Structure 1
Amino acid sequence: MSGVRPEQVTWVVGLDYSELGDLAFDRALALAAERPGVELHVIQVASGYGPMVSVEVRDDTLTLTLEEASARLKQHVQQRLSAYEERLGPLQLGRLVTHVRVGSPAQEIAQLATDLRAEQVVVGTHGRRGFSRLLLGSVAEGVVRLAPCSVMVVRPPNGAPEPKLEPPCSECAALRERSGGESLWCPEHRQRYGRIHTYNYTARTWSEPPSSAE
């Protein structure tokens, strides 16, 4: 029907100055290349109180005014966009808007998506800093839980090392069996875990409550 404007497609991108934050932004640009006219809103969530905020930038933490943090984010996003377009050609974006908010990263990202009625949020799982300050992927997990729209979680490249769990120690298992659970670790693992694990063992004895004398 002529004269009817199509509904604006809006995406929100979480950026934290980490390598994965940049990767998430680049992924959003790659997707935007297939959706001409899409509007990108890039958000960086700082911490702090009063007129000054703390912004984590790779291996450093900067204390800036909110205006300085906004200017830094705008410059960073423009540089990433220019580098992307130099490699792959110009994009037909509707608009590219940057936001700096103060608070909980997951909540602020999800709130912006709610405010803008975004179709999609793009975030990284965990950066070395920034998002990682709330533990592995907790920001991404929080956004998935809170956002009113679909969330694309950008993971590290395949070559990135992933933590691996050790198989159960046969000596520890044998010791637990021999001691009836009184001893948990073999000498090697007792030396390792004794420094980083705190646990309490309480023996439970179940019995019928005594009957009251008449």
Structure 2
Amino acid sequence: MESRSSSDARPFNVLAAIDLSPASRGVLLRALWLANAEETGGEVHVVTVGDRDAAARLQELATSAVKEFAVPSRPGHVQRVVTHLLTGDPAREIVWLAAHIDADLIVMGTHGRTGVQRLVLGSVAEHVVRTAGCPVCVVRNKHHDESWRVPEIEPPCPDCLAARNQSGGATLWCERHQSHVHTHVYSGAETTRTVRRAVVPWGFSP
């Protein structure tokens, strides 16, 4: 993201594009956080594309999120928050408004799709990322697959166990797994010793 000097009087404009779904609050709070990081001042423009009935909900959500964000312990650099209600094609209207307000960043959410569904072209987020004239931050709920954090632990090779038992622990590896052994030579003032250890990449099977 391009840095801004303190002499730049124009605020850092963040456009938060929401659909009034439960995930919208997270998108708006992220937009406020990003705008507030600019000590030179920031503005947050909140937009939803819908009918007139959405105006009250939009205003209520924006007011609630601002109150939640504006805690005494957090320095306040956001100059103002503006809401916009547009009608038409969502992606086109979001990109149009971003150009109209000279947005420095667009923040928007996804519907949490995974796998192939995330790659299907035609979503609002995909169109905005492809056509917007500024960076786009796509917000998703944080959810890391716990199984990816755990290294795969393989059971000992039967041939390696046999080699250890037969040698009383002097030989750790069978002939097939000798390639895992790296030799390191340490030079000292009086002695030179060799240390042998198995090196297996974390999380990968041989």
Report the TM range for the smaller structure's normalisation: 0.5 to 0.7
Deviations along 1:99-130, whole A, 9 cap, x unmatched?
A: 000111111111100111111100002269xx
By how many angstroms is 1:156 displaced? 2.2
Q: Which has the larger radius of gyration?
A: 2
Deviations along 1:34-69, whole A, 9 cap, x unmatched?
A: 1142011000111xxxxxx2xxxxxxxxxxxx2x53
Paired position in structure 1 for 2:62: 77
- Of the three residues 5, 8, 11, the one matched with 2:11 is 8
Paired position in structure 1 for 2:123: 138
CA gap of 1:110–1:71, structure 2 versus 1, over 3 A, is: same
Conserved? CA contact 2:58–2:83, under 8 Å:
yes
Which whole-Å CA distance do the structure 1 matches of 2:103 and 2:95 have between them? 10
**Match of 1:94, SS?**
strand
By how many angstroms is 1:86 displaced? 3.8
Please say if 1:33 is aligned against 2:36: yes
Paired position in structure 1 for 2:151: none
The AA in structure 2 aligned to 1:107 is R
CA gap of 1:69–1:151, structure 2 versus 1, over 3 A, is: same
Which whole-Å CA distance do the structure 1 matches of 2:12 and 2:122 have between them? 26
TM-score (normalizing by structure 2): 0.57
Which whole-Å CA distance do the structure 2 matches of 1:21 and 1:99 have between them? 14
Conserved? CA contact 2:20–2:57, under 8 Å:
no
1:61-140 residue pairs with structure 2 within 5 A? 66=52, 68-86=53-71, 89=74, 91-126=76-111, 138-140=123-125
Paired position in structure 2 for 1:43: 47
Which whole-Å CA distance do the structure 2 matches of 1:25 and 1:136 have between them? 25
By how many angstroms is 1:33 displaced? 2.4
Paired position in structure 1 for 2:200: none
**Match of 2:70, SS?**
helix
By how many angstroms is 1:75 displaced? 1.6
Which whole-Å CA distance do the structure 1 matches of 2:16 and 2:142 have between them? 18
List alignment gaps of at least 5 residues for structure 1.
Answer: 47-52, 54-65, 129-134, 161-214
CA RMSD of aligned residues (A): 2.9
CA gap of 1:136–1:88, structure 2 versus 1, over 3 A, is: farther
Conserved? CA contact 1:126–1:137, under 8 Å:
no
> What fraction of aligned residue pairs are identical, expressed as a percent?
38
The size of the alignment, in residue pairs, is 134
- Of the three residues 134, 138, 145, the one matched with 1:153 is 138
TM-score (normalizing by structure 1): 0.55
Which whole-Å CA distance do the structure 1 matches of 2:16 and 2:122 have between them? 15
By how many angstroms is 1:91 displaced? 2.7
Conserved? CA contact 2:32–2:78, under 8 Å:
no
CA gap of 1:102–1:137, structure 2 versus 1, over 3 A, is: same
Which whole-Å CA distance do the structure 2 matches of 1:70 and 1:125 have between them? 21
Deviations along 1:113-160, whole A, 9 cap, x unmatched?
A: 0111111100002269xxxxxx89811111101211110111122169
